[in-house]
Amino acid sequence: MDKLVHFCNLFKLKRPMIKPAKPLQVKRKYYLYIFLCLLSVGSCMEKELVPVTDEEQIVRVLADLHVSEAAAQQFDVTLRDSFREVYYDQIFKIHQIEKEVFEKDLDLLKQNPSQLSTVYDKVIKLLEKDKQQKEREKE
């Protein structure tokens, strides 16, 4: 800075308007940049979302939906969608869960393939257990 003032005095130039930055202001800028960087990194981190409905209820609802889907297959194509909708409404009413909540929970499960696989393994076991129980009742 002194050299610049000396240069201006030699050539009879006006004194430069450049003011040196105060050390405290520089530190504040760096702290602000660091804070913004940490904030942006923190907001980009994925949060593990947990379904609202417990896993056992999801398993029971999925099992019932698969059974209703199999039952709807016996109807004519023109009636199938209507029966499927009635079945789905009854299942959600029986399990006391809203369709939108269940669909959001299922979407969350789809984002975690290992958990979805575990849930569907339980659904298959439940369906097999129900099938065996119905076969015993027939005998």
How many other C-beta atoms can be found within 10 angstroms of the C-beta atom of residue 125? 12
Query: CA–CA separation, 129 vs 106, rounded Å?
Result: 23
Q: What is the pLDDT of residue 122?
A: 94
Query: CA–CA separation, 28 vs 31, rounded Å?
Result: 5
Structure tokens at 118: 């575990």
Q: What is the pLDDT of residues 82-98, one digit of tens each?
A: 888 899 999 999 999 99
Does residue 60 sit in helix, strand or coil?
Answer: helix
Three-state SS string across 25-44, please? HHHHHHHHHHHHHHHHHHHH
Question: Angle 67-115-92 (CA atoms, 0-180°, nearest 5)?
Answer: 35
Q: What is the pLDDT of residues 34-71, one digit of tens each?
A: 777 666 766 555 555 666 778 899 999 999 999 998 88
116's enclosing H/E stretch is helix 113-138
The mean pLDDT value of the chain amounts to 79
User: Residue 92: what are its φ and ψ, rounded to 5°?
Assistant: -65, -35
Look at 34-43, 77-86, 122-131 and tell me which has the smallest mean pLDDT.
34-43
Give the residue with greater pLDDT, 135 vs 21: 135
Q: What is the pLDDT of residue 64?
A: 94
* Residue 118 banded pLDDT, cuts 50, 70, 90: very high
